[in-house]
Amino acid sequence: MARSRLTPERESELYETVIDLLGEVGYDGLTMDAIAARTRSSKATLYRQWGSKPELVAQSLRHHKPVRIAEIDTGSLRGDFHEIIGSSDDCRMAKDSAMMRGLAHAVGENPELHEALRELLIEPEVTGLDQILRRAVERGEVAADNPALGLVPHMMIGAVVARSFIEDRPVDQAFLTAYVDAVVLPALGAP
Amino acid sequence: MARSRLTPERESELYETVIDLLGEVGYDGLTMDAIAARTRSSKATLYRQWGSKPELVAQSLRHHKPVRIAEIDTGSLRGDFHEIIGSSDDCRMAKDSAMMRGLAHAVGENPELHEALRELLIEPEVTGLDQILRRAVERGEVAADNPALGLVPHMMIGAVVARSFIEDRPVDQAFLTAYVDAVVLPALGAP
């Protein structure tokens, strides 16, 4: 009996609300009460369907999954990076940046949450970047022993997080494109 | 009458406790009660001396100020970066990294705190890096129009924050040295 299951549309709306709230109040400040109020759901429904806050947050992250980097293949490393950046708009980037900051402390304190974040967001990004970089090495654009090859996720995630700290505004397409051209490609020795 | 003023030693200990707690529970979780309990002070003393939590955190950040980058001048950019990294030990770096994560969300929500963080930690670091980079340009190690010159703080702060996300361990001297050699110096085209 599906009496109180949410429709897929309502479920999708609820996941996006969780991502928004994470950015606004952080993981510690995120309460089931606030989610229920913002989505006009009952707390009983939330607990019945997701069990707990970490599970609901993990499912929201899974739903809000990033661009599939692994599917991008433009024929050049520079083209691939620009395609990755172009496939997410500034509004989405601002939201993701706020969400990352909202999770930054909590992941250190909550191993289950960190595991979910790693599995759902970080590993796919790292794996996707690895594939793009492997093809660049095969094409001869990057030397196979370039020591920056293992540090591309640090450069990229770092650029997203650091901009809020340093310049008080979220990352956007123009900044990330300039960063890739000025930092990431030169560090890799790529054209 | 200095009846309940803290001694400089007690004050210093209290500031370090605030930094520790920030890393442990984050800014939102940091309460005057917890600070009073951990430092065996009365809350009345804390409020009398610092007025409010943002002020106490700002003063703690000021006390816990980073290495004076601007005073480093080894004669080469690579030497200067290695000296910056060598002047902070792994334990201190882990503490600073936890503190940054503890503040990451709060700075987005609390303009006064962000202003204090910017003035006391970020601006001195950015200014110090600028001086080191200016000398490297004067020595001819870096081209004056290299577009990565304005992105060095992003690369450095990014490396510190991103490692916790990606590898689940804090930044240390060995990682930062490898990062400078593989990413920062090549992006700048420096030897």
Asked if B107 reaches chain A (Cβ–Cβ under 8 Å), the answer is yes
A71-88 b/e (C-beta count within 10 Å ≥ 16 → b): ebeeebbbebbbbbbeeb
Question: Which chain B residues touch A170 with a CB distance below 8 Å?
Answer: none
Fold of B8-62: Arc Repressor Mutant, subunit A (1.10.10)
- CA–CA dist B115, B8 (Å, integer): 26
The conformational region for residue A168 under phi > 0 = left, psi -120 to 50 = alpha, else beta, is left
A147 to chain B nearest CA, in Å?
5
Disruptive mutation site among A105, A168, A184 for chain B (greatest number of B CBs within 10 Å): A105
Quote the tokens at residue B65. Answer: 């100020």
pLDDT of residue B66: 58
pLDDT of residue B118: 81
pLDDT of residue B96: 80
**What one-character-per-residue DSSP string does B147-189 give?**
TTGGGHHHHHHHHHHHHHHHHSS---HHHHHHHIIIIIHHHHT
State the average pLDDT over residues A128-138: 95
- CA–CA dist B188, B185 (Å, integer): 5
- Which of A20, A26, A179 minimizes the C-alpha distance to A113? A26
Question: Which chain A residues touch B148 with a CB distance below 8 Å?
Answer: 182-183, 186
* Residue B21 pLDDT greater than 60, yes or no: yes
pLDDT, mean over chain A: 86
Out of A105, A147, A153, the one facing B105 most closely (by C-beta) is A105
Q: How many CA atoms lie within 13 A of B173 on its CB side?
A: 11
Look-up: residue for tokens 């299951």?
A5
pLDDT of residue B67: 62
State the average pLDDT over residues A157-165: 79
pLDDT of residue A37: 93
CB contact under 8 A, B182 and A147: yes
* Residue B1 pLDDT greater than 50, yes or no: no
* Residue A3 pLDDT greater than 70, yes or no: no
pLDDT of residue A89: 84
Closest chain B residue to the Cα of A169, Cα to Cα: B108
Q: How confident is the model at residue A182 (pLDDT cuts 50, 70, 90)?
A: very high
pLDDT of residue B36: 92
pLDDT, mean over chain B: 87
B84 to chain A nearest CA, in Å?
19
Q: What type of residue sits at position B66?
A: P
State the average pLDDT over residues B111-140: 88
- CA–CA dist A22, A101 (Å, integer): 9
- CA B101 to centroid of chain Cα atoms: 11
Question: Which chain A residues touch B186 with a CB distance below 8 Å?
Answer: 148, 186-187, 189
E strands present in A27-133: none
Count Cβ atoms within 10 A of the Cβ of residue A187 and give its class: 0-12 exposed, 13-18 middle, 19 or more buried. buried
pLDDT of residue A81: 96
Q: How confident is the model at residue A2 (pLDDT cuts 50, 70, 90)?
A: very low
Out of B105, B151, B155, the one facing A102 most closely (by C-beta) is B105
The angle at the Cα of A163, spanning A131 to A113, to the nearest 5 degrees, equals 60
Question: Which chain A residues touch B157 with a CB distance below 8 Å?
Answer: 158, 161-162, 165-166
pLDDT of residue B125: 83
Work out the percent of chain A whose per-residue pLDDT is above 90.
38
pLDDT of residue B146: 97
Chain B segment 137-156 residues within 8 A of A by beta carbon are: 146-148, 151, 153-155
Residue ranges per structural domain of chain B: 8-62, 66-188
Pick the more confident residue, A13 or A106: A13
pLDDT of residue A51: 85
- Which of A158, A151, A176, A182 minimizes the C-alpha distance to B142? A182
Helix B32-39 / helix B43-50 crossing angle, nearest 10 deg: 110
Q: What is the pLDDT of residues B153-191, one digit of tens each?
A: 899 887 887 787 777 778 899 999 999 999 999 999 999
- CA–CA dist A165, B160 (Å, integer): 12
Q: Does A66-188 carry CATH code 3.40.50.10470?
A: no
Out of A102, A104, A153, the one facing B166 most closely (by C-beta) is A153
State the average pLDDT over residues A153-158: 86
User: By the 8 A CB rule, do B97 and B164 touch?
Assistant: yes
Pick the more confident residue, A79 or B48: A79
State the average pLDDT over residues B56-78: 84
Q: What is the pLDDT of residues A41-69, one digit of tens each?
A: 899 989 988 888 888 888 888 787 656 78
Q: What is the pLDDT of residues A97-128, one digit of tens each?
A: 788 778 877 877 788 888 877 887 788 888 99
